[in-house]
């Protein structure tokens, strides 16, 4: 009896010893968790730094937020008649929104149409040609789009619509081609997620293929399609170099689509290197970056809202 109780005690000791596996487990958790913390820290740091720099225009230089958002003149180095610096960002904000909305408006029907084609009408050709090509084009660097914009789109706009060729219109064309593969490939994913029996049930009820596509498939995929379009818009809004190369970079209120204009990103890319850290000119640029950052948060939020609504349905 005594012998048995000592053997139980020794087994218990063995089972309660911290094994090598248990030590490795603790180590693994700490290591992998630190990596995750690092990423979160990066996100927080980016938002924190850009925000603190971006609000300096308003806190340190005492520019009114209202003037910044609605002012039409952008000359941070010059003071206007009232002795206030000219830091009206409206022209760039309008420029950014215009090219984003216009390019999304053109790209959406093309992208969804192509996605429908490769998923519903000709899945064979879709899988063999269209899908790999669109996926490949998603990876083409934006400077290449910018260069083609400069050497093909700008001369084309100039000869067809007049003007210098640089402007909102050229920017819209370049962004249209640039977001097209992204939106197409995401739309195709959304359509692929619609269960097969939806289509079969509809066709069995005597609906034509188009009726099935329009009333059943597209409707069921609406949240996914909307997400695709919003993603495309976010990419267009944040694109810097390709737009900067073709838009003409004149921080003026756009009066026509073929006059040189500017976007938040184009002014940022050209300006940051030419201003002195801490000066009003520089702070004003950081405020533009902050607007850009906030808009990307807004796009993110929209995608989330769509996702939530999609799940509720």
Partner 1 sequence: MFVNNDVQTNANDMLERHIVQPNDPQHPIVLATEDLHVFYGKSEALFEGDLQFAQNQITALIGPSGSGKSTYLRSLNRMNDRIATVKGRIMYRGVDVNQPDIDVYEMRRRIGMVFQRPNPFAKSIYDNVAFALRLRGVTGKKKLDELVEVSLRQAALWDQVKDDLGRSALGLSGGQAQRLCIARAIALKPDILLLDEPASALDPVSTSQLEDTLLKLKEQYTIIIVTHNMQQAARISEYTAFFNQGRVLEYDTTSHIFTNPRVQITSDYVSGNFG
Partner 2 sequence: MHKAKLQNKIAIGSLYGISGLVVLILVALLGYILVSGLPQLSWHFLTAPAKAFLKGGGVGVQLFNSFYLLILAMLISFPIALGAAIYLYEYAKDNWVTSAVRTAIEILSSLPSVVVGLFGFLFFVVKLRLGFSILSGAFALTFFNLPLLTRSIEDSLRTVSENQREGGLALGLSRWETVNKIILPAAVPSILTGVILSAGRVFGEAAALIYTAGQSAPALNFADWNPFNISSPLNPMRPAETLAVHIWKINSEGIMPDAKAISSGSSAVLVIAILLFNFAARYLGKRLYKRLTSA
Interacting residues with partner 1 between 23 and 52 (CB under 8 A): 25
**247-281: buried (b, 16+ CB within 10 Å) or exposed (e) per residue?**
bbbbbbbbeebbbbbbbbbbbbbebeeebeeeebb
Q: Would you count residue 36 as binding partner 2 (CB under 8 A)?
A: yes
Q: Would you count residue 241 as binding partner 2 (CB under 8 A)?
A: yes
Structure tokens at 292: 């850009």
**What values do phi and psi take at 196, rounded to 5?**
-60, -35
Report how far apart, in Å, the C-alpha atoms of 21 and of each of 28, 191, 193 are. Answer: 10, 46, 41
Interaction partner, residue 238 (partner 1, partner 2, none; CB < 5-8 Å by kind): partner 2
Q: Would you count residue 200 as binding partner 1 (CB under 8 A)?
A: no
> Contact with partner 2 (CB under 8 A): which of 191, 227, 237, 250?
237
From the CB of 115, what's the least distance to partner 2, in Å? 9
From the CB of 13, what's the least distance to partner 1, in Å? 9
Interaction partner, residue 283 (partner 2, partner 1, none; CB < 5-8 Å by kind): none
Distance CA 252, CA 274 (A): 19
Residues 6+ away with beta carbon under 8 Å from 177: 145
Q: Which stretch binds partner 1 (CB under 8 A): 7-15, 86-94, 98-106, 171-179?
A: 7-15
The SS3 of residue 195 is: coil
Question: Which residues share a beta bridge with 74?
Answer: 87
> Contact with partner 1 (CB under 8 A): which of 1, 3, 17, 206?
17
Q: Would you count residue 1 as binding partner 1 (CB under 8 A)?
A: no
> Contact with partner 1 (CB under 8 A): which of 21, 276, 277, 312?
21
Cα 9-10-14 angle, rounded to 5 deg: 120
Q: Which stretch binds partner 2 (CB under 8 A): 28-36, 63-71, 74-82, 163-171?
A: 28-36
Structure tokens at 231: 């993603």
Structure tokens at 79: 């003071």
E strand or H helix at 194: none
> Contact with partner 1 (CB under 8 A): which of 12, 132, 144, 160?
12
Count, residues near partner 1 per rule CB under 8 A: 15
Give the sign of the dihedral formed by CA 107, CA 108, CA 110, CA 115.
Answer: positive
> Contact with partner 1 (CB under 8 A): which of 2, 16, 196, 311?
16
Query: How many CB atoms are located within 10 Å of the residue 205 CB?
Result: 10
> Contact with partner 2 (CB under 8 A): which of 8, 28, 160, 256?
28
From the CB of 170, what's the least distance to partner 2, in Å? 14
Count, residues near partner 2 per rule CB under 8 A: 87
User: Of 164, 177, 158, 160, which Cα lies nearest the Cα of 99?
Assistant: 177
Q: Would you count residue 22 as binding partner 2 (CB under 8 A)?
A: yes
Q: Would you count residue 208 as binding partner 2 (CB under 8 A)?
A: yes
Interaction site with partner 1 (CB under 8 A): 4, 7-8, 11-12, 14-22, 25
């Amino acid at each position: 009896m005594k012998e048995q109780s000592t053997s139980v005690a020794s087994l218990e000791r063995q089972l309660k010893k911290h094994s090598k596996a248990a030590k490795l487990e603790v180590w693994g958790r700490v290591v992998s968790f630190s990596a995750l913390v690092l990423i979160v820290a990066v996100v927080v740091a980016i938002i924190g730094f850009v925000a603190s720099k971006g609000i300096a225009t308003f806190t340190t230089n005492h520019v009114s937020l209202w003037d910044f958002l609605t002012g039409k003149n952008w000359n941070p180095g010059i003071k206007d008649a009232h002795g206030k610096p000219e830091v009206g960002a409206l022209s760039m904000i309008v420029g950014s929104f215009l090219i984003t909305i216009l390019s999304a408006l053109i790209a959406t029907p093309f992208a969804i149409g192509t996605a429908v084609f490769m998923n519903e009408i000709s899945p064979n050709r879709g899988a063999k040609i269209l899908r790999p090509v669109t996926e490949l084009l998603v990876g083409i660097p934006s400077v290449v789009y910018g260069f083609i914009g400069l050497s093909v789109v700008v001369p084309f706009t100039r000869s067809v619509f007049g003007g210098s060729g640089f402007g909102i219109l050229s920017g819209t064309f370049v962004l249209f081609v640039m977001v097209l593969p992204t939106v197409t490939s995401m739309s195709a994913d959304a359509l692929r997620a619609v269960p097969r029996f939806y289509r079969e049930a509809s066709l069995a009820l005597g609906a034509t293929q188009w009726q099935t596509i329009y009333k059943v498939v597209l409707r069921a995929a609406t949240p996914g399609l909307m997400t695709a379009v919003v993603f495309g818009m976010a990419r267009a809004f944040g694109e810097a170099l390709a737009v900067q190369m073709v838009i003409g970079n004149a921080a003026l209120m756009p009066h026509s689509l073929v006059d040189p204009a500017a976007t938040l990103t184009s002014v940022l890319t050209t300006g940051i290197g030419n201003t002195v850290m801490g000066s009003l000119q520089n702070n004003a640029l950081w405020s533009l970056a902050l607007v850009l950052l906030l808009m990307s948060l807004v796009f993110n939020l929209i995608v989330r809202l769509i996702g939530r609504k999609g799940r509720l349905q």
